[in-house]
Each structure stands twice: as C-alpha cells, then as structure tokens.
Amino acid sequence: MTQQELTEYNLGQSLDDLANLDPRGYGVCRILYDAARKRAGEPLTMQCAKALARTVKHGDFVYIITGFVLLPLKKAETDGMISAVLLARALVTACGAKPVLVCQEENLAAARAVAAACGLHTCDSIDEIRELPSAMAVIPFTKESALAQQQADELMAQAMPSAVISVEAPGANALGEYHNAVGLNMTELEAKTDVLFAALQARGVLNIAIGDLGNEIGMGAIAAQLEKYIPCAAPGSCNCECKGGIAAATAADYLITATVSDWGCYGLIAALAFLYENIGVMHDAALEREACIAAVQNGLIDMNGRAIPSIDGFGLEINTSIVTLMRECVRESLALRETCKTWFEKTIALGYFETI
C-alpha cells in the first residue's frame, strides 16, 4: 500500500462518516450505509470520485439528474438540487466537463439561480454549452411515462455523456410507481428521469446514484437491505393501491448513501477536490449559504414544506458545518502530505491496513 492509497482510503472514510452523521438519531443512514459499504468494499465517496476522475475528460458531457416534488404543496425540495448544481461547478472546475442538469419543471428557476450563485452560466440546450466555458445546460424532463424513453433517446442523440449521476431523484419501484418517504404514490408528480438513467447504464455509461432513503434512483442496488429494514420499502408495505413498496428498482453500479443526499454529494465533491489536488473544486461555507438561500428564494422547500434555507430539515448551521469539515479534511490531507510522510511509512510498514 502506498501513501496515496492509504490517504484515499482514510480520507474517503472520513468523508463517508461526515455524510452519514446522524443528528436525528433514528439510524436509517446506518442501515443504508452498512449495505452500500459492504457492497463497495471501500469508502463510497472516494470510490465514486476515483471512477469519475478515471472516466471524465476535458470537454466530456456529464448528466446530473435530480429533483423530487413533495406533498402537499407539490413543490420541489431543496435536497438534491443544491448539491447537483454545486457538483456541476466542481466538475467544471476539476476537469472542464460539460454538465447537463436534468430535472423537472419545478426545479428550473432554482437551478438557474443556484448556478448563478456558483458562477455558472446556464443554457437551455445542450448545443449551447459545447463551446462555452463555465456553463451548465438545464433540461426539463417529462412526467409522462409514455414519453420518457423518447426524450431519453433524444438527449442521448444530442450528447452521449461519459457519466451520469443522480442525486435525490425519484426512482420507480418494480411496478413502475413512484413514492414519497411515507409510502404515498407520487407517480403523477415526478419526472421519469430514471428512464434516462437506465438507458445510459444499459449503454455502459459510468453511473453513480446518491440517495438517503431507498425511493431514489439507483437504490435498488441494496434492495434486500431496504426491504428488510426500511419502513414502507418492502412489497405490500406502501400506503397506496400498488402495494409494491417504495424501494426503487434501478440498481446503480456505484452508490453513495448518506443522512441527506446533498451531504453524500458534498462528500463526492470533496473527494474530487483531493484527487485533483485542487481545494477550489470544493465549495466553502459561504457559497453553501448562498446556494441554499438562492434555492429557497426561487421556489424550493425543505423536507417539512418550509420555505426556509434548510435541507431535509437541517438548517444553515449544520449544512455549512458539514461543508467546512469536509473541505478542511481535504485541505489538511493535501497540505500535510510531505510533513507526515514518515508517519505514513511507519504505519504502512506495520501492516494494519493490509488486513481490511
């Protein structure tokens, strides 16, 4: 094992741990992470970041899928959208990628506002960003199941991405029905973006999914754990006529689970900052605050339906703290690389990390 490998492992674990901090104390993040971590065999955030760094080259398109509409207000939530735009910023900064944000109509105004806060130009079509620096396309996706495959085919014809990443995006169960956290049917309200995700996956595109419950795109990768331990996930346990459960059927090749999907995405961004040796890839607390405020001022709500800068019920204080801790972990890892070199050598020589 090399110093780089040991740092990737332990920094990745720290980022995973921060993403799965459990302030509520009800433990769902532990249930999800246990299954996802065993499946991956290594820290999730760093595994996904390494896959992206290997795959995405300068000028490559990356599709980022997000957007969950909530009852009873029928407005889109902050979780997913905020980090998706910040991820777009990170990919532009890290490697000059061309991000394409795919969401539903309810997210468009917020996506553009958060992008502006992040210093990104927004375009309404994929063709517009081909030659533009620091730009992101924002594409609305259909809510009509009958039209979803057609739109997916059209997008792939315009630009085949080198990677697709979903962040807190609704995923249909095995019966094609979409649900919220308490098992209510949301099929009419949600964009059918999992059709695009599955189509890209079938064509061999690197695919990463980030979720925090089990009803999101990609979470079918840990279906057995969901159905056994997550309320409303098992067939027959949802609160609608389909009785198919809330667990999403799509099974991503790479998975990040977290207490809040945005936190999982921030861990991915932080890991990218380390791999590219560029702390600027990771946003800071001030930008996190601006992004959260911009999202709410442009129509998004938090998990509890409040029009305040909160993500899944967590306010600015904890969200900015998570960002700061992740960013500082990366900064210290980069800054102390030479200073701590002999300690790495001594630790590696004793062999503990060869056994895990």
Domains and CATH numbers, the chain: 3-354 (3.90.1640.20)
Query: Quick one: pLDDT at residue 271?
Result: 98
Positions of the chain with pLDDT lower than 70, given as ranges: none
Q: Sign of the C-alpha dihedral, residues 88, 261, 268, 288?
A: positive
Based on its alpha-carbon atoms, the radius of gyration of the chain, rounded to whole angstroms, reads: 19
- Total-model pTM: 0.97
Cα–Cα dist 20/259, whole Å: 5
Please state, in angstroms and as integers, the Cα–Cα distance from residue 79 to each residue in 106, 160, 336, following that order: 13, 26, 33
* Angle in degrees, CA 174, 180, 186, rounded to 5: 75
Mean pLDDT score of the chain: 97
* Angle in degrees, CA 345, 335, 58, rounded to 5: 105
Cα–Cα dist 230/224, whole Å: 10
- Tell me the residue type at 336: L
Query: Quick one: pLDDT at residue 356?
Result: 79
Query: Quick one: pLDDT at residue 246?
Result: 97
Relative orientation angle of helices 81-95 and 44-55, to the nearest 10 degrees: 50
Percent of the chain at pLDDT > 90 equals 99
Query: Quick one: pLDDT at residue 355?
Result: 85
Specify the DSSP element, H or E, that contains 266: helix 261-275
pLDDT tens track for 27-75:
999 999 999 999 999 999 999 999 999 999 999 999 999 999 999 999 9
Q: Sign of the C-alpha dihedral, residues 22, 23, 26, 28?
A: negative
Query: Quick one: pLDDT at residue 252?
Result: 98
